[in-house]
Structure 1
């Protein structure tokens, strides 16, 4: 029997699941009520679904896993399963489908949630892999928050005045600490077998040997990236992979997405507002090819995924791998910029309370960070609860991103969490930091 209040106590887990599900639904509601119906049903980019598709898809996945798989109930609306299967219909095709209208999608998602909360109240958090420690409820909360981030990307892509507002992060003076830190070489524990809501690609924990390397203390800033642009980085084939060079030339890419230059000044569009590019913020909306080219130009490279995780989790004093750079405690607003609390990255060097033992900052939150690694399974990987979550994406087509962004909720962001995308993607909230090999 577990002690009341312990992380594995059923009442504690139930309260955690309820909070995660409620927080996700509140964000979903805001993202889908701040615009009129035409904006909900329109496709603002062929890269993204209509917002109304995301809304019903969230409800459908919740029904599939919490009502059918966990509770064993009959399907509420089996005829819509195919419409909201992300693998059956590419995003570009979804506007042509007979989707539920906004009011009906809201009613469906709300009815599913009401029944899911009944299931949460009555489920024993043991007995099956889906119910152990409330995994299925945590998985669904993470799924909804991932779609909340996707919907925020859609809001950034939509034309017209801003529909969302949020306070800016606290101002911070320019960071004056060391530009890089030495991460000592040696083994560390990568991945997890203990995090109850970790997804299949984060598992299992295993030992990795990482040689010593140097890592940027903060993400690369807009000012630093502008220096690359002004030095002709986009016009110099030396810095680009062959695929990257072909991509930027064929698409006439000359700066991060949403940037433009007017009267000698760089401007950007951010959620319907045009503003000067802030020099001290981490650069945002760059693809892997751009991040890799900048690193080459700077005489450095992108970190591997293992290097990134060692910097974010390994405590060289204790030898432990912690959940986050600052330790095992859940994130707070003092640790990281998460949860769409702000709609932009904080200045580079912010959140000293969230620094790693070696002093690396902003490894969690602000911007997703590209790594040099392809998405591959860990040794001993087992697909769970369905292979389409991770397994079908393994291979050289997808590059790994780590650390989360300001758009990610804490439930879907931790030191082991793995994200991935095509190396051409720029609409995502992606930035990077650089590394170089070093001696022990």
Structure 2
């Protein structure tokens, strides 16, 4: 596949995610962590325009100078920007205008990529591919939050499968004490937070072969898990009380029966589906109730060769920190990971919303402990 075809395939998939939406759905921002779908469409386009076309395109004319302010996400080096909480206030530019912007940039990128490009542009292009694919995952989960908090619980797509039943395996996987190598070792693309490869010492441990299900989590709820402070970190217990948390996100107790909002609408809770949309606080409390714990990210990486993963982001007990020898790339491109390596927990694996070629065993996702709008789940260790 040519570079132009690779570029257009990725770009078209982003737009296909938005096909089921009504125009009004594109603008909603229910919470700070969820961006309006039209902002994702504009921001991913701005990335290619800002980092490739403007510095490397021959005679490229910027589409709209105001868009640098509107669609810059967090790059201080690039200039001022609309703050994250105000993205939902952007009634303009319109959805149609943003699609016109995408078309304009796609044409310019296709022209650029039809010629021989430098190694520097190739490196930026591959980063841009992966950046857009990250936003495809965010788009899917942001759309679910937008529709899942609509009182009518509208259907996004009945064809989009987000859950598969788990055949629970009672045996645990045992990993022997020893020194293991952690981090990305290949020559293909990886994010800078997967580097550098280094050694860690691990004690003996065991890890479950399967994720926890809705059924096992419902047992936790029925046992009073959300009303017993003994299972929770103090910060997590404060979060439960302050926010009135009683179940995972998208669970609804209707006349004594549990339902779950999905892309197909509100459906009866399936006890064999993997529990999802769980915060770190909840994952920790559940593990405590079970007399177990969450694995560290290093235990997860070592053991993951022996179990199936990729349907849920799995909380670990590891703080999001740089690996030994980590260094930020110069300029705006290097801003991303380094500035966020504080007060967050690492999640490993991938989810049903993650593009398939992002499923690296070394991939490090990271979120604040209270967040749960992503497809997050639980795997226990001992």
Q: Could you tell me how far 1:193 is from its partner in structure 2?
A: 4.7
Contact 1:149-1:407 at 8 Å conserved across structures: yes
Q: Could you tell me how far 1:384 is from its partner in structure 2?
A: 2.6
Residues 1:419 and 2:365 aligned together = yes
Q: Could you tell me how far 1:168 is from its partner in structure 2?
A: 3.9
2 CA distance for matches of 1:281 and 1:139? 34
2 CA distance for matches of 1:19 and 1:200? 26
Aligned length, in residue pairs? 368
Residues 94-243 of structure 1 mapped to structure 2, 5 A cutoff: 94-97=87-90, 99-124=92-117, 126=119, 130-131=120-121, 134-157=122-145, 158=147, 159=150, 160=152, 161-166=154-159, 168=161, 175=167, 177-243=169-235
2 CA distance for matches of 1:54 and 1:287? 24
Deviates more, 1:78-87 or 1:427-436: 78-87
Deviates more, 1:421-430 or 1:29-38: 29-38
What's 1:51 paired with?
Answer: 37
2 CA distance for matches of 1:414 and 1:17? 22
2 CA distance for matches of 1:176 and 1:371? 20
Residues 1:387 and 2:334 aligned together = yes
Q: 1:67 aligns with which of 46, 53, 71?
A: 53
What's 1:291 paired with?
Answer: 283
Q: Could you tell me how far 1:16 is from its partner in structure 2?
A: 7.3
Normalised to the residue count of structure 2, the TM-score between the two structures is 0.89
Can you list the C-alpha shifts for 1:134-153, whole angstroms capped at 9, x where unaligned? 43222112211211121212
2 CA distance for matches of 1:419 and 1:72? 36
What's 1:85 paired with?
Answer: 72
Structure 1: any 5+ residue segments left out of the alignment?
A: 1-14, 313-355
Residues 1:376 and 2:369 aligned together = no
Contact 1:20-1:138 at 8 Å conserved across structures: no
1 CA distance for matches of 2:234 and 2:143? 33
Can you list the C-alpha shifts for 1:142-182, whole angstroms capped at 9, x where unaligned? 2112111212122212224213232547976x625343110
Higher helix share: 2
Distance 1:74 1:168, change over 3 A: closer
Structure 2: any 5+ residue segments left out of the alignment?
A: 75-80
Deviates more, 1:198-207 or 1:231-240: 198-207
What's 1:246 paired with?
Answer: 238
Normalised to the residue count of structure 1, the TM-score between the two structures is 0.78
> For the aligned residues, what is the CA RMSD?
2.3
Distance 1:40 1:170, change over 3 A: closer
Q: 1:366 aligns with which of 290, 293, 311?
A: 311
